[in-house]
Amino acid sequence: MNEKVEVQIGTRRLVVEMEGLTPIEINALAQKVSERVVDLQSQNNKVADTSKIALLVALSFAAELDKERQGHDLTRRLLDNKAESLSQSLRESLQAGETSK
């Protein structure tokens, strides 16, 4: 069962529950969001609408997540290629060993 946790993001207090996360993890995430809100508010000091800041924060995290996924996909493809290359080398070595007998 998920535990309800009160967090503060910027000046707003929210009670949230998130599946699969502990209260400590939820608080840590809320802290990251709050920090991003402060950063984006300072960069966009002419934007007074907090819902616009919230959308900028969401886009910022989405962009970060997308970069991480792209990096993960690249790493996976490189590992797959290396595994295939090693597998091919092993097959060739085994075939060469069989023909030399």
Tens of pLDDT, residue by residue over 12-37, are 899 999 999 999 999 999 999 999 99
CA distance 38 to 56: 11
Beta-carbon contacts of residue 44 (< 8 Å; ≥ 6 apart) = 53, 56
* Predicted pLDDT at 101: 65
Distance of CA 34 to the CA centre of its chain: 17
Q: Please check whether residue 10 is in contact with residue 32, taking contact to mean a CB–CB distance below 8 angstroms.
A: no
* Predicted pLDDT at 1: 64
* Predicted pLDDT at 13: 94
**Neighbour tally for 56: CB within 10 Å:** 18
List of E strands, the chain? 5-9, 12-16
For the whole model, what pTM was predicted?
A: 0.71
Tens of pLDDT, residue by residue over 42-76, are 888 887 788 898 999 999 999 999 999 999 999 99
